[in-house]
Amino acid sequence: MPPATSPAATRTRRQPRQRALPTLKDGLPRPVLARVESLPAGSWTGEHSHPWAQLSYAVEGVLQVHTATGQFMAPPERAIWVPADLPHEVLTAGPAEMRSLYIDAAALQGSPLTQAQGCRVLDIPILARELILAVCALPPDYDEHGAPGRLVGVLLDQLAQLPTAALDLPLPTDARLLRLCEALQADPADRRTLAEWGREIGLTERSMVRLFQQQTGLSVGAWRRRLRLLAALGPLEGGEKVSSVARGCGYASASAFISAFCAEFGVTPAQMFAKR
């Protein structure tokens, strides 16, 4: 199972499948504009930003969004919220069905979504899913004062209430800690101790542990565990057996992997990837 990689490494490897960004020089034609895409494996967009917010929803496949502060992953029935003007990259390791909503800032006035300082992953319940798909079926010039506009309003109300899912991997800002994270991303199975890592990056073990928790909100051990489990999402979505994925993540047994997966994400792998 391939480990998580840095955006630069991923960009180099996936360049032949770069996605074209829509040209919207005059802004959005309506408060919400939908984009429907069937993406081949290895699709990516270079770093970009736009003056509107974006909701990227995974119907099938696993979407990844990379920013300067972390990596965010959306398996099926999850979505990634990207605030306006935030530089980001969008990646897909395997084939994916993607539904994007571009949302004008004026349509979000007073919404809790505007309080988010960065990206976040959202759980998408059935009602929100059906609303997203219905809005994606509207023409770009839908009647915003008629039934289509009211449908969009209901969708925006639902999006404001969606719970956040712990499917992100926050990155520290300290350059020494970033070296640690990049090394673990390149080799999640690295067995070096915290003391050995501290000597490697030039920090005492105590300082490293304190600073890492302060900047990411996770302990080094919890961050490494989440890294391994997030790396498992793509193979699981692709149909790889749990026992094989567990071994690739460094777990001694499928049961140990499932237990860790459930503790981290609140569901088993089978539940996360069950087809609705």
> What digits encode the pLDDT tens for the residues 231-276?
899 899 888 999 999 988 888 899 999 999 999 998 899 988 876 5
- Greater confidence (42 vs 207) lies with 207
Q: pLDDT digit string (tens) for 150-205?
A: 999 999 999 988 999 989 999 999 999 999 999 998 887 788 899 999 999 999 99
The whole-angstrom separation of Cα 154 and Cα 60 is 24
Beta partners for 33? 102
More confident residue, 15 or 132: 132
Q: Pick 170 or 40 by higher pLDDT.
A: 170
The per-residue pLDDT for 125 is 92
Please report the pLDDT score of residue 2 as a whole number. Answer: 39
pLDDT confidence tier of residue 16, bands split at 50, 70 and 90 = very low
Closest CA to 169 of 120, 202, 101: 120
Cα 120 to the chain's mean position, in Å? 7
Determine which of 8-12, 32-36, 76-80 has the lowest per-residue pLDDT on average: 8-12
Asked if residue 152 lies in contact with residue 177, where contact means CB atoms within 8 angstroms, the answer is: no
pLDDT value at 213 more than 50: yes
The Cα 30–Cα 33 span in angstroms is 6
- When the pLDDT of each residue in the chain is averaged and rounded to a whole number, the result is 87
CA distances for 215 relative to 25, 107, 202, 237, 249, angstroms = 37, 32, 17, 31, 25
Model confidence band, residue 208 (pLDDT cutoffs 50, 70, 90): very high
The residue that leads in pLDDT, 110 or 269, is: 269
Which position has the higher pLDDT, 5 or 159?
Answer: 159
- What pLDDT score was predicted for residue 13? 44
Residue 5: per-residue pLDDT: 47
User: Which range is least confidently modeled, 3-17, 38-52, 62-76?
Assistant: 3-17
210 band by pLDDT with thresholds 50, 70 and 90: very high
Contacts for 206 with CB less than 8 Å, ≥ 6 apart: none
**Residue with the larger pLDDT of the pair 19 and 4:** 19
pLDDT beyond 80 at 92: yes
